[in-house]
Structure 1
Amino acid sequence: MSIRRAKRDQCFTLVGNHIFQEGHLSFQAMGMLTYLLSKPDHWQVSPAQLANVTQGAAKKTGRDGVYAILKELRQVGYVTTQKRASGEIEYIVFDEPKTVNPDLAVRSVSCSETDKPDLAQPDPAQPTQVKTDPKQKRKDQLLILAQQSEGNDSVSEKLQQANDMQDVVFHLNNAAQTRFQPKGQTAGLIIARMQDGFSVQDLMAVIDHKVQEWGDDARMRQYLRPATLFNINKFPGYLSQARYVRENGTTAVAVAVGRPSRHWEPDDEDTRWIHALHQSSEQYN
C-alpha cells in the first residue's frame, strides 16, 4: 500500500506523530483528538456537539461513545477538566499529554518511522503531489462512482447518473440539515431508484414532502435518511403521497386510512395505506 498526499497551503492541521504511536491510543481516540486539535484555540469542547459530529456517517458515535473516548484521552493526559464557577465542566485539550511522567506516556517516535514500507512506486521518499482543484476533484469523484457502478450504460451516462445522485444528496442535506455523503449505501439507494425509472425530481419531491411532514417532529426526524426515504418497498408509496398532497393541497393523507399522521411508522412493512391512497385519489378524478 502506498500513501499519496495532496499539496495543501491552507486549511490543514499539524499534529505530532507521537499521537499515532502503537499501543498509545485507540483509533477512536486518535480520531477525536485530531478533530479537536483542528479547532481554533478558543473553541469550546462540548460532548453534546461531539455526539452530533458523526451523525449521518456509516458508523456514528453517540453520547456514551463520546464520553468513553474523552475518558481515554483524560487517562492518557491529552484532556483535562476543571469546574467553572457556574458549575459547568470545562474541557482543556493538549497536543501533548500532560502527565506526571510525560516521558513514560509518549515514547520517542522518529519522523521517518515506517512499518515495512512498500518500496513500489510512488517512492515514499518522494510522495506524489496532487493539485486540489475543487472542480477537478468533483469530476474525479464522479468518475470513480461511474466506474464502480454496475450495468451496461456508457461512461457518460454513468457520469450523469453519479452527478444526479450527488445533486439528490445535496438537496437532502440542505432540506433536512443532515450530513449524508454521496457514497456507499446512500449512493447505492439513490442510483437504484433512478435505475427503476424514477427521476431526480421524483426523489427531491419525496425529500421535500417528508421534510415538511416529519421535520418538526423530534421522533420522526430520524427517518429523514436515505435508508428510509429511498427504500425499494417504501419509495413508490412516499412518491404517491407527495403527488397527492401536491395536487390536492392537503397533508391529511393519513385520514384516508383512519390513522393520525403522528402515529405513522415509516419502517412499518404494512403498505395497505398506499392502496387506500390510490382509492381516495380515484374518487376525486
Structure 2
Amino acid sequence: MYIHAVSHYLPSQVVGNEHFTNLNGLSSEWIIERTGIAERRKAGPGENTNTMTIEVVQRLSEKADLTNVDLIVGGTYTPYDTIVSLAHEAQHYLGIADIPVISISTACSSLLNAIEVVEGYFALNKATRALVIVSEHNTLYYNETDTISGHLWGDGAAALLITKERQSDGDFAIKALTTGGAAHTPKATTGVMMKPADGGVTMPHGRDVFINACLYMPKASLQVIEQCGLTLTDIDYILPHQANLRISRNVMKTLGLPEEKLISNIQRYGNTGCAGCAIALSEQWDTFQKGQRIVITVFGGGYSFGAMLVEV
C-alpha cells in the first residue's frame, strides 16, 4: 500500500492557555509543564466534524485525482451526525456512486484502524484507491471548566489517498502496520471516556492512561520495525499520537532515540484525537527525503493502540 497524498484542515480560532487561566485559574506555565500545549484550535460557528471533512477532501482533491476512489473510510469519536457519517458526507460531496463507505471509531487510534480496513479491502481485491478521513470536533463534547482534561483538546481534520499500487515516486510506502487493544487491563474502560449524555469527555484515571500509552506505543513501534527486518537506527522519525508532550518524550526515551527524531504538533494544536498524527504528517510531507522511514504510533481510549512504518 502507498500513501499518495495527504491534506489537513485546522479551524482559524486559536485558544491560548490564558483562556483557561481566566476560566479556572490554570496558569500557562502549569499547562505547558504537564502537557506541552501552548494553544489549540477550536471549530467556529457552523463548523463540525462533517464540514471539516469537506474542507480536507477539497484540499486533497487539489493534490490528487479523487474521481476514481473506490472506498471511503472515516474515523472519529466526535461525530456531528451518528447516522450520516463523515464518510457518507465525503461520498456525497465527491458524487461517487456505489462504493463501500465505512465509519469507525477506536478513539485516538482510529487513523491506523481505518488504514487497516483499507488493507483488508485491498487484500480481498475489493478496492484499489481508498480515501481515509479523520476528523475530530473535541470542543463540541468537552467540559472546558474541567481542570483535569478541559485544557487538552483541539479540533482538526486530515485526509489521505491510499492506493494499492504506487502512483508516483513521491508516494510513501506502508511497509508494516499493526494494531491491538488492551481493554483487558483494569482501568482501560474508565481511563478516558466520552459520554455525550453524561458529562462529555472525562479522564478519571489520567495517570493510568499515561502509563499505558508510554508502554504500548513503544511496544507497537518495535513490532513494526522488527517486522520489516530493521532496527531503531534505521528509523528517521517517530510520530506518536499527539496526546501529551511528556508522553511523546517518554516514548522516545524508552526507544532510546533523540528528541530530534520526534515529530510533534501538540504544542500548537492540543490533542486533536485520531486526526493528530495525520495532520502532522500532512504538515511535514514536503520536508521528508527519499528513503526516510517514519514510525507512526497511536494510543487511544479503551486502550486501543497501534503502529505503522512508512518509507518515502
TM-score calculated relative to the size of structure 2: 0.19
> Is the helix fraction higher in 1 or 2?
1
Instruction: Report the TM-score when normalising by structure 1.
Output: 0.20
Please say which structure displays the higher CA radius of gyration.
1
Q: Pick 1 or 2: higher relative contact order, CA cutoff 8 A, min separation 6.
A: 2
